[in-house]
Structure 1
Amino acid sequence: MTWDFSDALFILLIALGSIPALASVLQYVLAGPHALRDHLDRTAAYLPRVAILVPAWNEGAVLGPAVRRLLDMDYPDERIRVVVIDDASTDNTPELVGALAREHPGRVVHLRREQGGQGKAHTLNAGLELVLGDDWAQAVLIMDADVVFETSALRRMTRHLVDPSVGAVTAYIREGSVPGNWLNRFIAIEYAAAQAVGRRAQNVLGAMACLAGGAQLHDRASLERIGGRIDTSTLAEDTVTTMETQLAGARVVFDPHAIVLAEEPAGVNALWRQRLRWARGNLQVTGRYRHNWFRRRSAGPLGGWIFGIIWFALLFEPVIALVCSVGLVTLLVTDADVAWRTFQSLWLLSFVSVALIVAVTSFADTDTAKRAGAEAVLFPGIGNLFILAVVFSPWLAQQVEPARLLFYAWPALAMLVVWLARLVDRPRWRWLSALLVLVGGYGSLLSAVNVNAYVAQARHQPTTWAKTEKKGMVQG
């Protein structure tokens, strides 16, 4: 068999399609030795005075249980101070916080901003100005108003600060909506994969991509080294803080046993808005730190090749998928047999990646696996699962041979399918929206959001912080 130059070029384009799957496999392999590099051997009981910042804008439905859980944690009462930064709320948030402050004088502080609406980062900075204005706080915990900490979560996080090299600690944000729906369960699997597994891998690499916005603990000295303020110029203030902390020489670690429950969007449109903000923020961060990528000498572990490949494979996954599809469709015309064999190889690698995701994620978080086992299997989407069946079954492959063009173009078509899911996400058509996501795949939904982010950034659309509506569905 001989290949001409064009065949080799198209095969190279198709090979690019394997990068996200290889990056995924790499993360799951790296998570394996986490038990040997989990930082627990350098921890000890440590109970610093912690100022807890809770930014709140119209959070009356969720704030009460979140604050009460903080006060009931397994942590000395006199070493916790909860500062609720009320961002000019117009609901019952001021009355609720005022009542909590009167009930727990000195432990709950109500900080009211009369001019709000500037976003979470500005709100947090008002709180930081207050708590760093005196020497009481030895550590600062930044959280969201709707999350619920497990009783031992803070104690598990503070133990890492015994190590003077650690500047910040992030907890495991687990989707905790009760009863939740199909989309909440997909998010639960995503979080288990990205955090319980992905952040374990980042612990091993010594480079953390992002402190969870809902549960990040900072050593005071580390926070002051990076200016004592939160970045307000991007939509990813938590990621900027993570990067700056590490570039300043401190470590950021993930504790998978410090569990915090969060309510996540229950509809495709709400999820899309949230993830569009995240995706645009990641693009902004990528440009901001363009001189640090793949430069280990100047950026330390953040400049490592493995960390960079994992970051960019996720960020540009839809572009890679489109390039791969173009290569396959073109090769189908020039050499159909080579196109099919290349396609089979690519999807065999995809199968390995999917199998690792399901197996390792289920092992890393058995509770989520029990709750969302069906969603773990359906995570790639029915369309992708059918293609895998075609690849493994010569008989089925022969039956559907005329549809090969459709299979080769599926990564792009799947994103169109889930885009339709967003368009029909209305009360009357929620069943159809769910069906389209099941067919196209939850991963394709996230890729489609990334495409939307590329367009938004290219068009220089306003950088605004959109609040995710919460209904108080978390029960700790």
Structure 2
Amino acid sequence: MTGLCLVLVALGAVPVAVGAYQFLLIPLHAWRNHYRRAAPYLPRVAVIVPAWNEGAVIGRSIDRLMGLEYPESALRVYVVDDASTDDTPEVVLGRAARYPGRVFHLRRAKGGQGKAHTLNHGIEIVLAEDWMEALLVMDADVIYRPDSLRRMTRHLADPEVGAVTAYIREGSGDPNYLTRFIAYEYIAAQAAARRAGNVLGALACLAGGAQLHSRENLVAIGGRIDTSTLAEDTITTFRSQLAGRRVVFEPYAVVLAEEPGSIAALWKQRLRWARGNVQVTKMFRHLWFRPWRDRRIGGVSFGLFWFCIFLLPVAMIGSSLGLVGLFLLHSDLATVVFRATWWLAAGSYVFITAMVVQIDAPTGRRSWREAMLFPGVVSLVVMALAFFPGAVDPDGRISLWGLDLPPAGGVAVTLAIYAWVSCSMVFAWLARRVEATRAGRLLAPLLVYLVGYGPLLCAITFDAYVKEYRKAAQVWDKTEKTGRVMV
């Protein structure tokens, strides 16, 4: 039993170590990148914008596209209207009149089938013509910086590159606590982690709001977007690389997006993403840890990065069970292992946070508080306890800063400390429930700061496991946009 508990704790520590390893790769991006094979290249680009009730944001997005630093004759925008019931058609038709021959309105008679079906409607029409040389898929609310498209197209000068993605940055003009957490997360998950993907030569996902495909790549993957899952962008990314073409992340092509400002909206968005990842994991089960020439997506490092995110809730629960089990077995190893794992967590946390806030300094300065409290105040306290040798002993006595708890209380607190990484997901779920109450506006942010944004994401992933196991309805439920993106 002691051996089993040690294995569980070790497995729980793997994602922490792999996270540090991933960020150690990022400085290598200065040497291992695609810029040597990139060159000025301005192909004819067709932009596909799926839109359902996007009247509040679609007009400005089109205007910004028309203002890109890109030849007017080489850029066309096709808005695929998914049977909108608001003023989306009128807004798009107005822009089509303002930019004749450059903006087109494609109306679907029957909507509600999801983003992939909407995209395929536009892709079929665009591919039927010979004009398009590259296809840009974007969301209706995102704002491209003026130089972003040409920074992306330069990579397509290399015929071995099939697709390019940009850095999606949270761009709300009036950020709240949650959008600041998301802003920090996006630096870590995109600006940082995707650089590591460039170093490895394999990416997990093209950003849904900024994916540029060569015509050849689009044809090679079947000329259509997958409609069988909730992760059409990830499936497209995998298939592009399995077809033998490279996928590149361009960190200096910046795209601003409006992100959820409430836990409920975030949960809805990320549940869809997490369920999609479950589906992708099953769909490509023949791929994992099976590298072969020119297909690094099957490599060991790529597999570790994928599964350490995908199975992070499982690892957290296993780590808690292992520590609690060692304590109940009256093993002296409990405190030793507790301190070792949290020392590893503390070292990785400091290293990763220091790197992330420097990669996108303006966003890092705006979200410095959320960067520090990403794991949550309680986790930081538990982390600090690991650096005080006498704070928690094998018998469950707690002695710290003059506080000496009685044995019964000490045992209870010790068990809570050892189980915290799992309990944090329960409290994150509670924050979602509290948000819907009258006092939620005040209590929900407090709970998230205490529990941590990371555990909130893990709770959503765990919910995705449950939804997939129960075969819950697979609905593409888009996030409501209000036009808060800062231009």
**Into which bin does the TM-score normalised by the smaller protein fall?**
over 0.9
1:433 match: 444
Provide the rounded CA distance (Å) in 2 between the counterparts of 1:466 and 1:352.
38
Partner residue of 1:268 out of 263, 266, 271: 263
Partner residue of 1:424 out of 406, 427, 434: 434
Give yes or no for the alignment of 1:322 onto 2:317: yes
Contact 1:418 1:445 in 2 (8 A): yes
2:420 match: 410
Contact 2:32 2:199 in 1 (8 A): yes
Contact 1:292 1:299 in 2 (8 A): no
Give yes or no for the alignment of 1:37 onto 2:22: no
* Partner SS state of residue 424, structure 1: helix
Task: Report percent identity of matched pairs.
Answer: 54
Paired amino acid for 2:49: V
Partner residue of 1:233 out of 228, 232, 242: 228
Which range moves more in the overlay, 359-368 or 262-271?
359-368
Write out per-residue CA displacement over residues 85-116 of structure 1, whole angstroms, 9 at most, x where no aligned residue: 00000001000001000111110000011110
Partner residue of 1:305 out of 297, 300, 304: 300
Provide the rounded CA distance (Å) in 1 between the counterparts of 2:290 and 2:29.
24
Provide the rounded CA distance (Å) in 2 between the counterparts of 1:298 and 1:90.
49
Which range moves more in the overlay, 394-403 or 459-468?
394-403
Specify whether residues 233 and 298 from structure 1 end up closer, same or farther in structure 2 by C-alpha distance, changes over 3 A only: farther
* Partner SS state of residue 172, structure 1: strand
Displacement of 1:298 after TM fit? Answer: 7.4
2:62 match: 67
Displacement of 1:436 after TM fit? Answer: 1.2
Provide the rounded CA distance (Å) in 2 between the counterparts of 1:83 and 1:165.
27
Contact 1:321 1:412 in 2 (8 A): yes
2:218 match: 223
Write out per-residue CA displacement over residues 233-261 of structure 1, whole angstroms, 9 at most, x where no aligned residue: 00000000000000000000000000000
1:3 match: none
Contact 2:188 2:356 in 1 (8 A): yes
Paired amino acid for 1:302: I
Write out per-residue CA displacement over residues 31-54 of structure 1, whole angstroms, 9 at most, x where no aligned residue: 110010121111111000000000
1:296 match: 291
Displacement of 1:329 after TM fit? Answer: 0.5
1:461 match: 472
Write out the 4+ residue segments of structure 1 that deviate beyond 3 Å after TM superposition: 394-397
Displacement of 1:335 after TM fit? Answer: 3.0
Provide the rounded CA distance (Å) in 2 between the counterparts of 1:224 and 1:266.
38
Displacement of 1:394 after TM fit? Answer: 3.8
Contact 1:292 1:298 in 2 (8 A): no
Which range moves more in the overlay, 158-167 or 392-401?
392-401
Write out per-residue CA displacement over residues 387-415 of structure 1, whole angstroms, 9 at most, x where no aligned residue: 11111234655337541111111011100
Provide the rounded CA distance (Å) in 2 between the counterparts of 1:425 and 1:58.
26
* Partner SS state of residue 247, structure 2: strand
Contact 1:27 1:197 in 2 (8 A): no
Give yes or no for the alignment of 1:25 onto 2:20: yes
Displacement of 1:337 after TM fit? Answer: 2.4
1:103 match: 98
TM-score by length of structure 2 reads 0.95
Give yes or no for the alignment of 1:46 onto 2:57: no
Write out per-residue CA displacement over residues 257-279 of structure 1, whole angstroms, 9 at most, x where no aligned residue: 00000000000010000000000
How do 1:350-429 residues align onto structure 2 when only pairs under 5 Å count? 350-394=345-389, 396-397=391-392, 398-399=399-400, 402=411, 403-426=413-436, 428=438, 429=440
Provide the rounded CA distance (Å) in 1 between the counterparts of 2:21 and 2:27.
10
Which range moves more in the overlay, 337-346 or 427-436?
427-436
* Partner SS state of residue 259, structure 2: coil
Contact 2:244 2:294 in 1 (8 A): no
Which range moves more in the overlay, 326-335 or 427-436?
427-436
1:334 match: 329
Provide the rounded CA distance (Å) in 2 between the counterparts of 1:187 and 1:475.
15
Provide the rounded CA distance (Å) in 1 between the counterparts of 2:146 and 2:358.
23
Provide the rounded CA distance (Å) in 1 between the counterparts of 2:444 and 2:369.
18
Contact 2:152 2:165 in 1 (8 A): yes
Paired amino acid for 1:475: M
Give yes or no for the alignment of 1:278 onto 2:273: yes
Give yes or no for the alignment of 1:198 onto 2:209: no
* Partner SS state of residue 348, structure 1: helix
2:134 match: 139
Where does the alignment leave 5 or more consecutive residues of structure 1 unmatched?
Answer: 1-5
* Partner SS state of residue 18, structure 1: helix
1:78 match: 73
2:458 match: 447
Displacement of 1:426 after TM fit? Answer: 2.4
Paired amino acid for 2:220: R
Write out per-residue CA displacement over residues 269-323 of structure 1, whole angstroms, 9 at most, x where no aligned residue: 1000000000000000000000011111278201101110110010010011111
Provide the rounded CA distance (Å) in 1 between the counterparts of 2:236 and 2:294.
15
Provide the rounded CA distance (Å) in 1 between the counterparts of 2:323 and 2:145.
49
TM-score by length of structure 1 reads 0.97
Write out per-residue CA displacement over residues 351-396 of structure 1, whole angstroms, 9 at most, x where no aligned residue: 1111122111011111111110111001010111111111123465
